Chain A
């Protein structure tokens, strides 16, 4: 519901919801001159200038450089040779192309599903606790594991969970003994078996209770006004029904944010796979980012690696635009009255 007194774009940009807040009448102003505009803006530009310059040097310039290099056959120590779009054409016929994009899609979709369900459920459970102290303690407990570096987590899973003498194989050996089977009849090399490697990677981090994600959902839940809950209860929506029909739609901004971050992370990430399997066995767990890394630093095919990077950039850009356009946030839903 728009009041007509507030700029709609401001509402959309800030997420400020006029429905839930008292109306404000803006006082009329005289239109500033262009000079006054420029003077006022100059200060602001000066403030953002250091950030912008650093961003340009470390993010924009390398991207432009990489984009231009993607049209060259370029190896360190040798002169570059212009090859047009050959690197792109080669990449689309690369031995890893289909497999790596398939793997990336699988892992990203898996992460998306996980991020949309598990932290949200945990956040709701914590939010529903009647004891404020218990709620606080649980939030802290779920946050503590984030101090463990990601690399350490990968190594823990590799060494303690998935190894030949890791938790899973030892459990399976125990079951085999109980069933009077050969001790190793159920065990496998989880990260070296082509049939299990992708699932094994996907399940790292189980039960996926990422503290930050939980906090983001929790913050969203706390921002839902009590009056909405009361209205829902009056309308007969309680328990899971209220959660699905009331809470979840009002948390779409958080869902949208996390989905976008998960997509970007899913397309870019490769360091975990590099540590765990190096994309193997074969190319069974290869992802485009890792192949880009190998081409750049192992094969010294920098032009080709730049082309892969540009393709990844395009993929992220397209997915982000789709997400922005079609994944509606709570504000969008409120604004359209749905």
Chain B
């Protein structure tokens, strides 16, 4: 009897079945279709059926684009697949077994690590060619590149080997969300510079609130890049030794791994580099205004929503939650971290802070797209021969049209469409302004491999939490960077000779700059 009751309770009702939200594609949609006629897409944040922040309705935008595609190519089917937690581990196993989706959404920096394995397809030739779905005489009708609204961060996805491995559908940027009610109560306004910013945090702390809430990983990623930019941007003309014609002026001043590896031999990014030392001191000083546990983003959000914290450093994705959550009973605003003036630190010129966010959903094409070619052929030849690759890219080209970008991206309030002609949600207007800035000078957390990142994150965390002295931390960082540079130079066969020649040409410039590491003169 108990079993009968249990079976009855577990049996789904007709209404319940109809209301079930399916993540990804219904298997019957692709049933009986040959494998090479199914394009499998990991849509990332736009996976049909997802309901971001548990507000609104399940996403359906991607399904609409897929329907258009299947109408254009009736012999093909699009299958959207979800991925388990631990994306990196999953992707590595899928790619190595040749079973990865044809299109995946991962941070392109993760792709860079594996480009020599030919797991991903460079998209340069497609980006330089017209997008067949672009309207006549409209952006994209000559070059797909012209369709992208934010060229600087889009070009920022250029891999160190000069190739572009992703299509950036949208933009994401960070911002400091602040509780306007607390600010009003304490008579505070948005800070104009770093000194004012720290003073505000001091006042907030004295009033019994946690001034700044930030996730540990985000602080290491964003905080370090912003501070590095502030401290080093005055000498970027000296440091940027390689002009990359692919990324061109968009990434002027950006330091790739080969440049970092070379500059390290000249004493940069070591305890002998005064700017390097100051970078960490600025961040350490800021730490005192943050929560005790630099934990995960859920904890931070909870503290912000319950008014324990006055400011939360997060991304544009948070706007979706804040603007749709009916239980939030305070006003909130957004500002960008302010510049560090020279009066605060002699190496900082008070320049406007750079972009550290940029590309949101970055869609890469994997080698699975080439499954219609002989795997024993050279990779280049496979790319040239593959007809299936053209179809896979066609899906991305269709997705990147203004109407479809609008349909997909603006279904929620998290990202800004990166396609000209597709407007962003007005609630994200502040982030549009942030994205017009100069791009970051480098991405410390993504430039090298995961082992460098892991050690960096851990040691920085320890340093911030008084677990080691500044000297110990700098020593750790130097060893970590030495190891990462050695590995990258060896594995990628990086030739540093052209950089050495360029460095020699800049001898005069170096003489004019004070406080460089002794080896640099």
Contact = CB atoms under 8 A, between A and B. Distances in A.
Contacts of B117: 77-78
A188 interface: yes
B454 A298 contact: yes
Given A77-B117, A194-B467, A281-B461, A298 B292 contact: no
B71 interface: no
A281 B467 contact: yes
Nearest to B461: A281
B292 A164 contact: yes
Nearest to A169: B292
A211 interface: no
A192 B292 contact: yes
B462 A189 contact: no
Contacts of A301: 451
A282 B308 contact: no
A84 interface: no
Contacts of B303: 164-165
A183 B96 contact: no
A98 to B, nearest CB: 15
A254 B46 CA distance: 54
Contacts, number: 90
Interface string B384-396: 0000000000000
Interface string B85-102: 010110011011000000
Contacts of A299: 449-451, 454
Contacts of A284: 462, 467
A294 B454 contact: yes
A162 B462 CA distance: 18
Interface centre among A280, A281, A283, A297 (most CB of B within 10 A): A281
Contacts of B295: 163-164, 189, 191-192
Given A164-B299, A183-B208, A193-B465, A300 B292 contact: no
Interface centre among A76, A159, A192, A297 (most CB of B within 10 A): A192
Contacts of B459: 282
Given A76-B96, A77-B119, A164-B291, A281 B88 contact: no
Interface SS of A by simple majority: loop
Contacts of A279: 458
Given A281-B467, A284-B467, A298 B208 contact: no
Interface in B48-92: 86, 88-89, 92
A300 B294 CA distance: 27
Interface centre among A169, A183, A282, A298 (most CB of B within 10 A): A282
A189 B294 contact: yes
A187 interface: yes
Contacts of A165: 303, 308
B486 interface: no
Nearest to A282: B462
Question: Contact residue range for chain B?
Answer: 35 or more
Contacts of B457: 280
Interface SS of B by simple majority: helix
Nearest to B467: A194
B293 interface: yes
A189 B466 CA distance: 12
B129 interface: no
B196 interface: no
B468 interface: yes
A195 B468 CA distance: 11
B502 interface: no
Contacts of B89: 297-298
A298 B88 contact: yes
Contacts of A300: 92, 450
Interface in A149-180: 159, 162-165, 169
Interface in B187-236: 208, 210, 216
Given A183-B208, A280-B458, A282-B459, A192 B293 contact: yes
Contact of A188 (B92, B292, B449, B450): B292
Interface in B275-298: 291-295
B458 A281 contact: yes
Contacts of B216: 192
B173 to A, nearest CB: 27
A194 B457 CA distance: 14
A184 interface: yes
B114 interface: yes
27 contacts: A77-B95, A77-B117, A163-B293, A164-B210, A164-B295, A165-B308, A183-B208, A184-B292, A187-B292, A189-B294, A191-B295, A192-B292, A192-B293, A194-B462, A194-B466, A279-B458, A281-B458, A281-B465, A281-B467, A282-B468, A284-B467, A297-B86, A297-B88, A298-B450, A298-B451, A298-B454, A300-B92
Interface of B: 86, 88-89, 92-93, 95-96, 114, 117, 119, 208, 210, 216, 291-295, 299, 303, 308, 449-451, 454-455, 457-459, 461-462, 465-468
Given A159-B299, A189-B293, A281-B462, 11 more contacts: A164-B291, A164-B295, A164-B299, A164-B303, A187-B292, A192-B216, A281-B458, A282-B467, A294-B454, A298-B451, A299-B451
Q: Identify the 5 closest CB pairs spanning chains A and B, nearest first.
A: A282-B462, A194-B467, A189-B293, A189-B292, A77-B117
